[in-house]
């Protein structure tokens, strides 16, 4: 046998599968598939990526270093990588009508930090939404690098209406004179008025940055007003209502493109995750379809139906209802913390998350609310009739959180519902 035929044989020998190489990780993934298939995933920031997205993320693109941008890389061999990144950028610009897109941020948080680095100097003033009013850690929470590097002040929601008071935002902006105002939230059930927020920013000579992570899919689907044309810079994650792979993205007006790009690379990141960028390209292709627009309409219709069912079950909703994909339930009247309520729901197969509510007396580790949303269960094909059933189940469990029989009965109903509406992107296994 010659040396060359030996090496050919070695190269063509079939590689062992994941199950053979690492049965423990394989088993954990299979169990997670089963869990995702058999529960009602109602954490509003989660979703089911399509099989096509998952295929792209599981591709050999994970092997490639591509520091830099298309046409200007620090490594060779990036012909096809450039093609993928350009596709993602062009699709992002077309979908949202933006002048510039950067698809490299590894997450929404990374996107936010890159924008701050690109637009601000350490110590500059920024105005963001209060965490317990629905803001995000990177909008100036004291425990986050954003607040350690920049001087944040916060606006919130009106104590009575629990809706953003843009006049109060203007007043705070006048006092604080920020360079950037951040509009966006993780637990806000109402639409943002980006036009009004831009007026506030203009009045104090600030830039407006929109973090549309939660609502990006609703914006793409035309059921939430777009920040494009109002906010000069827009950040998002790509795995929430957009239903893509876990990651981030930035859109901006052309004059900010260079600063934003440099904030991402070399400012805060090294090599981009090209397999994830391929998944983002696929997601952007899917989100540009009429089918996705219909899906976005259904997410909001489902959230409204869910909110009505929860109100009928006697629960209090922050701001009284929803205009988006999520509702925030105040569980104090039930004598529960958010943690206790979310635990009880999980025992019944309904997965939500504990959350603070506006002016919450409890810390985020407990929270006085639970946050729930309809993106993932809408991806399963459920409609308003199912939302009414789900709302009734949630009400039932929260009224008897320690009753094992109620949990068991609800768990069985959840299982039946999940079997009738299979989760997309998860292979059906015969084993």
**Residues at the interface with ligand DSN (CB under 6 A):** 45, 108, 136, 186
- Which residues are 236's β-sheet partners? 249
Query: Residue 144: helix, strand or coil by DSSP?
Result: coil
What is the smallest separation between the CB atom of 273 and ligand DSN, expressed in angstroms? 17
Closer to ligand DSN by Cβ: residue 200 or 219? 219
DSSP assignment string, 238-264: SSSTT---S-EEEEE-GGGHHHHHHII
What is the smallest separation between the CB atom of 185 and ligand DSN, expressed in angstroms? 9
What is the smallest separation between the CB atom of 124 and ligand DSN, expressed in angstroms? 23
- 4-30 b/e with 16+ CB inside 10 Å = b? eeeeeeeeeeeeeeeeeeeeeeeeeee
Contact 27, 416 (CB under 8 A): no
Contact 156, 129 (CB under 8 A): yes
What is the smallest separation between the CB atom of 45 and ligand DSN, expressed in angstroms? 3
Closer to ligand DSN by Cβ: residue 172 or 368? 368
Comparing CA positions, the residue from 326, 317, 313, 334 lying closest to residue 389 is 313
Closer to ligand DSN by Cβ: residue 108 or 140? 108
Closer to ligand DSN by Cβ: residue 108 or 156? 108
What is the smallest separation between the CB atom of 341 and ligand DSN, expressed in angstroms? 17
Give CA–CA dist 226/127, Å, rounded: 21
Closer to ligand DSN by Cβ: residue 64 or 136? 136
Whether the ω angle into residue 266 lies within 30 degrees of 0, i.e. cis, is yes
Give me the count of residues in the chain: 431
What is the smallest separation between the CB atom of 183 and ligand DSN, expressed in angstroms? 15
Comparing CA positions, the residue from 277, 287, 286 lying closest to residue 217 is 287
By Cβ distance, which residue is nearest to ligand DSN?
45
Question: Within 13 A of 164's CA, how many CA atoms are on the CB side?
Answer: 28
């Amino acid at each position: 046998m010659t040396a060359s035929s030996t090496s050919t044989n070695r190269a063509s020998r079939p590689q062992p599968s994941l199950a053979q190489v690492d049965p423990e990780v394989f088993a954990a993934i299979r169990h997670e598939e089963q869990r995702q298939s058999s529960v009602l995933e109602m954490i509003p920031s989660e979703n089911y990526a399509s099989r096509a997205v998952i295929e792209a993320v599981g591709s050999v693109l994970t092997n490639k270093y591509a520091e830099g941008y298309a046409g200007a890389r620090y490594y060779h061999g990036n012909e096809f990588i450039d093609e993928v990144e350009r596709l993602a950028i062009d699709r992002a610009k077309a979908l949202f009508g933006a002048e510039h897109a950067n698809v490299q941020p590894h997450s929404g948080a990374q996107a936010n930090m890159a924008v701050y680095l690109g637009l601000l100097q350490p110590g500059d003033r920024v105005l963001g939404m209060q965490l317990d009013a629905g803001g995000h850690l990177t909008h100036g929470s004291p425990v986050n690098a954003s607040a350690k590097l920049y001087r944040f002040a916060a606006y919130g929601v009106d104590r009575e209406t629990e809706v953003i008071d843009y006049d109060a935002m203007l007043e705070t902006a006048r006092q604080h004179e920020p360079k950037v105002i951040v509009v966006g939230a993780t637990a806000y059930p109402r639409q943002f008025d980006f036009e009004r927020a831009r007026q506030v920013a203009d009045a104090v000579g600030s830039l407006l940055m929109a973090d549309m992570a939660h609502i990006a899919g609703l914006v793409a689907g035309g059921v939430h007003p777009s920040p494009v044309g109002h906010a000069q810079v827009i950040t998002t994650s790509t795995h929430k209502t957009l239903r893509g792979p876990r990651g981030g993205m930035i859109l901006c007006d052309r004059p900010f493109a260079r600063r934003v790009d440099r904030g991402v690379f070399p400012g805060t990141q090294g090599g981009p995750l090209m397999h994830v960028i391929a998944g983002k390209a696929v997601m952007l292709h899917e989100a540009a379809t009429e089918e996705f627009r219909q899906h976005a309409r259904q997410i909001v219709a489902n959230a409204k139906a869910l909110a009505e069912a929860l109100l009928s079950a006697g629960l209090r909703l922050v701001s009284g209802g929803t205009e988006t994909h999520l509702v925030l339930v105040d569980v104090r009247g039930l004598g529960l913390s958010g943690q206790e309520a979310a635990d009880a729901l999980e025992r019944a197969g309904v997965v939500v998350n504990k959350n603070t509510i506006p002016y919450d007396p409890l810390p985020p580790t407990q929270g006085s609310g639970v946050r729930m949303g309809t993106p993932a269960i809408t991806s399963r094909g459920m409609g308003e009739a199912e939302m009414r059933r789900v709302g009734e189940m949630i009400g039932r469990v929260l009224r008897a959180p320690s009753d094992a029989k109620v949990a068991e009965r609800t768990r069985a109903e959840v299982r039946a519902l999940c079997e009738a509406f299979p989760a997309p992107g998860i292979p059906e296994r015969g084993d």
